[in-house]
A and B are shown apart, each in its own frame.
Chain A
Amino acid sequence: MNDARSGVLAAVREALMDLNGRTRTPPPPTIFGETDESKATLAQHFATELQAVAGRAFIVRDRAECGAALASYLLARNVRSVAVQSSPFAQDIALQLDGFGVTSAVNLDRPELERCDCALLEARSLLADTGSATVILDNSQDRVLPYLPRTCAIVAELDSLHATFTPQALECIADTASAGARGEALIVTGPSRTADIEKVLVLGAHGPGALAVFIVEQP
């Protein structure tokens, strides 16, 4: 099969012969900058944008308030069981969830994860202009978490807010990419959706039909 490799590369080089000899430098990457808005203002933008795509956003003071808000949200969604990502922050919030069946995702197999009502994840960065949350999933159980349960809850520090997909926001993806960590960095924006039938919007396609982000001011 090495023939195919040299074949393809040779075909590419031959096809580009008219450009040979010209050294080309890449155009500078397009950078989207941070704004000088406060994190609190960005949190408001974030909430507006996430709500616009049928997600919910809660801005809470501390971990305790986060736990309480999360518990309310879960009750309203009829959630009984929660699978938690292997992130210290998410795990810590999960400790407060009395009365729910809480398990670490790494301790569950696929069918068990499928039966869980809610996933609890940590976002390492938030993008205010689109209501997006970046989640790093580095093991095979965490990887299915954002999709299998019908409700998705995400916790994040206020400090992780960025105006948009800035270089700083890209850092948490870049760091994991370069450090050789595995799995995926997922930017998730609202609940799963499709418009494949007559362009009619339907939520909860294959992934969750509900998604909420809890932004903690003083984690």
Chain B
Amino acid sequence: MTTSFNRKEVARAFAHPVAAAGLAATLERSVQSAHQARAQIEWETLRSAAHDVKAYAIANLDRLLTQFESQFTQRGGGVLWAQTADDAVAHCLDICRRHHATSVVKGKSMVSEELGLNEHLSRAGIDVVETDLGEFIVQLADQRPSHIVGPALHLSRQDIGKLFVAKLGIEYTDDPQTLMSAARTRLRARYMQAQVGMTGVNFAVAETGTIVVIENEGNGGLSSAVPPVHVFLMGIEKVIPRLADVPLFVRILARAATGQKISTYTHHFLGAEEGKTVYCVIVNANRTKLLADPKTRQSLYCIRCGACLNVCPIYRRAGGFAYGGTYAGPIGAVITPQLTGINQAGELPFVSTLCGACQDECPVKIDLPHQLVYLRHRAVEHGAARASMTSRGIAAWARAMRDLPSYQRSVRWLRRAAALGRRIGWYPGVLAAWTKSRTLPQPPKESFKEWWERTR
């Protein structure tokens, strides 16, 4: 899996203008919905408050994690720690073996995508089915999710109709209600058969060991309630300090994500009831890299609402697959380089105009555009970008700007080059990328400096 920016995916997205326009319109509606929902409440105050709670939680992460572990185990749950993705997968396989599991049902978990968990379970002979409708669809299609909240938004209803004919053997329909019913029926049987249910975590409350999971479909509820074993998968950053902090996040998450006032199901898992075995796998998988750098630390505040994706002009055009990894959009561009390694994903932060729309949307006020430009600096430091033409160009240009005489020489050279370019109708390299669809301004005979000198 490559994690640098995938231009072929962009080209593919551009090659389907109708589908692309549909997705862009869908995302625009999400943004408008979110804005309406936010206008009903004291949004700026709440997002500042949420930012502060997350800042505190992240700054005290070790203490809160151990507090959470203690509380969770007191209420009958088992806590397992995973330093790496492999550790986490090993825990999951171990749990399945211990409980003789041949069938697993999964609620939405982005971290499990990072781990490639489904593939590992399948290879161990365990049948694993995604129960969130969007995840179920992309699983059938053998694709990765393209959006944090709506994994299958890149597919049309016709695409899904054809997919269900092929994979579920139903008659063709493109009616979303009918398609949902087909998935519901198929999944009912799977919930009943499964020995293990796995879900993600929205918030893990340190004070009481309570886990909050938020969803609309009810598949999270069923995945956690029906099978006798329930496994929570969470990144270390999901901890919040107190139960009293929950209402704040409940108030802002759905509004940012979908424009709803609240999601249909806000679960607070209190502890393992009789006859139930519960585990929580706490996963690092390079999150401490994000934590260690004060300039990237805020990216751990993310509550995975997807709002930054919805508003990003790049995401809307390029689509989720262009980002190459588990996470797309601005948050994807910010965390992927650290989670998977700068050299692999170093290009992602460059695919942005740094417009800052993402920060405006973020319900926890993460300074995304600043992190993007900082990660460009890290990529250059790592040598990921240093050898390129651009780098050499920048270095040369900075030298040219060092003092006035050098600057004036460069300006004269530029004017001659521009005149030449106009005469022959061709510009080199990067300028060709400009002139393909845009006219180039011609430098006037006299620069401002020259005018100033002449007239003052």
**Any A–B CB pair closer than 8 Å:** yes
B65 at the interface (CB under 8 A from A): yes
B59 at the interface (CB under 8 A from A): yes
B275 at the interface (CB under 8 A from A): yes
A108 at the interface (CB under 8 A from B): no
> Residues of A contacting B156 with CB < 8 Å?
198
- Once the chains are docked, how many angstroms separate the CA of A61 from the CA of B151? 45
Which of the segments A34-42, A69-77, A93-101, A168-176 contacts the partner chain? Answer: A168-176
Contact between B222 and A27, CB atoms less than 8 A apart: no
B-binding residues in A (CB < 8 A): 1, 4-5, 7-9, 11-16, 18-19, 24, 26-27, 29-32, 49, 53, 110-111, 114, 129-130, 132, 137-140, 143-144, 146-148, 164-167, 169-170, 173-174, 176-178, 180-200, 202, 204-208
Contact between A193 and B217, CB atoms less than 8 A apart: yes
Q: How close is B275's CB to chain A, nearest CB, in angstroms?
A: 5
Contact between A8 and B82, CB atoms less than 8 A apart: yes
Contact between B192 and A184, CB atoms less than 8 A apart: no
Partner of B282, one of A8, A195, A199, A206: A8
Question: Which residue on B lies nearest to A11, using beta carbons?
Answer: B288
Question: Which residue on A lies nearest to B275, using beta carbons?
Answer: A140
- Type the 1/0 row for B149-172, where 1 means its CB is closer than 8 Å to any CB of A: 011110111001000000000000
**Given contact pairs A12-B288, A182-B273, A24 touches B150 in the complex (Cβ within 8 A):** no
- Once the chains are docked, how many angstroms separate the CA of A133 from the CA of B66? 32
> Residues of A contacting B247 with CB < 8 Å?
30-32, 164-166, 169-170
- Once the chains are docked, how many angstroms separate the CA of A177 from the CA of B181? 35
> Residues of A contacting B275 with CB < 8 Å?
140
- Once the chains are docked, how many angstroms separate the CA of A9 from the CA of B60? 11
Partner of A12, one of B22, B65, B192, B263: B65
Partner of A138, one of B46, B236, B273: B273
- Once the chains are docked, how many angstroms separate the CA of A206 from the CA of B269? 19
- Once the chains are docked, how many angstroms separate the CA of A11 from the CA of B285? 11
Partner of A8, one of B132, B236, B244, B250: B236
B276 at the interface (CB under 8 A from A): yes
B52 at the interface (CB under 8 A from A): yes
A-binding residues in B (CB < 8 A): 22, 26, 29-30, 46, 49, 52-53, 56, 59-62, 65-66, 74-76, 80-83, 87, 91, 131-134, 137, 150-153, 155-157, 160, 176-177, 179-181, 184, 187-188, 192, 208-210, 216-219, 221-222, 224-226, 236, 241-248, 250-251, 258, 260-276, 282, 284, 288-289, 291-292, 294
Partner of A29, one of B87, B152, B244, B288: B244
Partner of A206, one of B151, B176, B184, B272: B184
Contact between A182 and B219, CB atoms less than 8 A apart: no
Partner of A15, one of B150, B225, B291: B291
Q: How close is A86's CB to chain B, nearest CB, in angstroms?
A: 12
Contact between A182 and B153, CB atoms less than 8 A apart: no
| A-B contacts, 27 listed (Cβ < 8 Å) | A8-B236, A8-B284, A12-B65, A27-B56, A29-B244, A29-B248, A30-B245, A53-B260, A138-B270, A174-B243, A182-B271, A183-B270, A183-B271, A184-B224, A192-B218, A193-B217, A197-B137, A197-B157, A200-B176, A202-B177, A202-B180, A206-B184, A206-B187, A206-B221, A206-B222, A207-B217, A207-B218
- Once the chains are docked, how many angstroms separate the CA of A14 from the CA of B289? 10
- Once the chains are docked, how many angstroms separate the CA of A196 from the CA of B225? 23
Contact between B153 and A144, CB atoms less than 8 A apart: no
Contact between A186 and B217, CB atoms less than 8 A apart: no
Partner of B46, one of A8, A30, A148, A177: A30
Q: How close is B260's CB to chain A, nearest CB, in angstroms?
A: 8
> Residues of B contacting A29 with CB < 8 Å?
53, 242, 244-245, 248
Partner of B157, one of A27, A186, A198: A198
- Once the chains are docked, how many angstroms separate the CA of A167 from the CA of B243? 10
Contact between A205 and B216, CB atoms less than 8 A apart: yes
Residue among A8, A148, A207 with the highest chain B CB neighbour number at 10 A: A8
Contact between B131 and A206, CB atoms less than 8 A apart: yes
Contact between B152 and A144, CB atoms less than 8 A apart: no
Residue among A129, A200, A204, A207 with the highest chain B CB neighbour number at 10 A: A207
Contact between A176 and B270, CB atoms less than 8 A apart: yes
Q: How close is B136's CB to chain A, nearest CB, in angstroms?
A: 9
> Residues of A contacting B273 with CB < 8 Å?
138-140, 143, 182-183
Contact between B82 and A114, CB atoms less than 8 A apart: no
Q: How close is A201's CB to chain B, nearest CB, in angstroms?
A: 8
Q: How close is B431's CB to chain A, nearest CB, in angstroms?
A: 41
Contact between A15 and B187, CB atoms less than 8 A apart: no
> Residues of A contacting B151 with CB < 8 Å?
196
Contact between B218 and A130, CB atoms less than 8 A apart: no
Contact between B236 and A180, CB atoms less than 8 A apart: no
Question: Which residue on B lies nearest to A185, using beta carbons?
Answer: B268
Q: How close is B109's CB to chain A, nearest CB, in angstroms?
A: 16
- Once the chains are docked, how many angstroms separate the CA of A169 from the CA of B266? 14
**Given contact pairs A1-B80, A29-B244, A199 touches B269 in the complex (Cβ within 8 A):** no
Partner of B81, one of A5, A139, A187: A5
Q: How close is B37's CB to chain A, nearest CB, in angstroms?
A: 11
Q: How close is A47's CB to chain B, nearest CB, in angstroms?
A: 15
Partner of B262, one of A4, A24, A130, A173: A130
Contact between B180 and A173, CB atoms less than 8 A apart: no
- Once the chains are docked, how many angstroms separate the CA of A177 from the CA of B218? 22
> Residues of A contacting B270 with CB < 8 Å?
138, 173, 176-177, 181-185
Q: How close is A52's CB to chain B, nearest CB, in angstroms?
A: 9
Q: How close is B182's CB to chain A, nearest CB, in angstroms?
A: 11
Contact between B267 and A177, CB atoms less than 8 A apart: no
- Once the chains are docked, how many angstroms separate the CA of A7 from the CA of B81? 9
Q: How close is A186's CB to chain B, nearest CB, in angstroms?
A: 6
> Residues of B contacting A202 with CB < 8 Å?
176-177, 180
Contact between A191 and B264, CB atoms less than 8 A apart: yes
**Given contact pairs A167-B244, A181-B270, A205 touches B176 in the complex (Cβ within 8 A):** no
Q: How close is A216's CB to chain B, nearest CB, in angstroms?
A: 23
Contact between B150 and A199, CB atoms less than 8 A apart: yes
> Residues of B contacting A140 with CB < 8 Å?
225, 273-276
Q: How close is B266's CB to chain A, nearest CB, in angstroms?
A: 4
